[in-house]
Amino acid sequence: MIYFKKPIYVTRPLLPDLTKYVVKLEEIWNEKYLTNNGNQHKLLEKELKRHLNVPYLSLFNNGTIALMIAVQSLRLAGEVITTPFTFPATPHVLAWNGIKPVFCDIDITTLNINADIIESMITPQTTAILGVHVFGNPCDVHKIQEIANRYGLRVIYDAAHAFGMKINNRGIGTYGDISMFSFHATKLFHTAEGGALAYNDVYLKDRIDYLKNFGIKNEEEVVMPGINGKMNELQAALGLSVLEYVEDEISKRTVLFDTYKRLLSEVEGITICSNMSCYPDEIVHSYQYLVIKIDKELFGCTRDYVYAQLRNNNVFTRKYFYPLCSDYPCYKHIITASASNLPIANTIVKEVLCLPFYGDLTINDVEVICNMIRSYRNSGFSK
């Protein structure tokens, strides 16, 4: 008998009360102004700057274009050191900028780029380090900055999983030169599609804002080859409505996280790898994902078996980030993409599983899912 009558997915978009959104749509209709830095856009930019604790912020139509423009704004070229354990957008943005991604292995605990290896990957062509705060675990921002300073490199963070995170009470977006946030529907805070860049340098503001609007400075001047990366008023209004619900969503997820932790963290062979507490710094977490790692020897069955069994029971988990970016046909020829250069990433990618995690799940749902997982222990190595 299948317990869940309807499929349970990894996430569901956080939707505001529709009447709240309609009020904002009426404002837009009255203004007859749909895009190009309108009132909703200005207000969302201001609210997010406050929420993310960052001095400068620019909004975008999605996170990938935002990251493209981050790379353009710093005039990066040659090689950029990054992680193979991420969403395709991260290395693709480098490729679209004519830059060679150099894959660096990951840390076995945080699953982020291993700062102790970065230095050995630097060549005369290296211009930057592109880290990803995977599953809301921050990269080793202090060590990465120290290496960047020593070699004169830029630092960009893909902070798509790190909305609202803080390190030692500082917004995560204030580390490195530029951080990218994604506001895709599957992210904790979203604008259906959308994104932002956060940065500390006031001189980047003009350049980034020109780049996202065709390089247009005014009616008579186009100052650089820009692209169209603008967030429109309907997206911004949705963001303003969703933002009001974020705090409540996080408190619901905190309870669910604690339930997962209570039922899974003691199980031999299972490690919870989101919201890690392995840092010397004080971390405020994003509560965006609930990810576990399954050690097939200790747990007595593989990640793929757990994935398939849950699926048979209407629970649709995700194997983020399988396959590794270094295994895509477009990157596997790169020397640093070889499995021998990335032993930890190649092990981890067979072990991680992203479990259902969103405010509308009940504690009982989580208990049922955890009990299913626990029942698979020692059920063999079937694929």
Ligand X SMILES: *Cc1c(COP(=O)(O)O)cnc(C)c1O
- Look-up of token digits 């309807």: 6
Sheet of strand 170-171, all strands in order from the earlier edge strand to the far edge:
170-171, 166-167, 283-284
- Rounded Cα distance, 63 and 68, in Å: 9
Residues 157-176 that bind ligand X (CB under 6 A): 158, 160-161
Among 62, 72, 83, 241, binds ligand X (CB under 6 A): 62
| 89 sits near ligand X (criterion: CB under 6 A) | yes
Counting contacts by CB under 6 A, is residue 72 touching ligand X? no
64 sits near ligand X (criterion: CB under 6 A): yes
Give me the least distance between CB of 158 and ligand X, in Å please: 5
Among 63, 138, 171, 356, binds ligand X (CB under 6 A): 63
Options 68, 132, 348, 352; binder of ligand X; rule CB under 6 A = 132
Judged by CB under 6 A, how many residues of this single chain contact ligand X?
14
Q: Which residues contact 104 (CB under 8 A, 6 or more apart)?
A: 81, 82, 83, 113, 114, 117, 118, 121, 336
**Residue with smaller CB distance to ligand X, 136 or 270:** 136
Which of 126, 82, 149, 129 is CA-nearest to residue 342? 82
Q: Please state the φ and ψ torsions of residue 163, each to the nearest 5 degrees.
A: -60, 125
Q: What's the closest the beta carbon of residue 354 comes to ligand X, in angstroms?
A: 11
SS3 content of the chain, % helix, strand, coil (to 5): 40, 15, 40
Binding mask 193-232 toward ligand X (x if CB under 6 A, else -) reads --x-------------------------------------
Q: What is the DSSP letter of 21?
A: H
CB of 321 to ligand X, least distance (A): 8
Among 86, 112, 127, 274, binds ligand X (CB under 6 A): 86
Residue 132 contacts by C-beta under 8 Å, 6 or more apart in sequence?
Answer: 82, 83, 85, 86, 87, 90, 112, 113, 139, 157, 158, 160, 161
Site of interaction with ligand X (CB under 6 A): 62-64, 86-87, 89-90, 132, 158, 160-161, 182, 184, 195
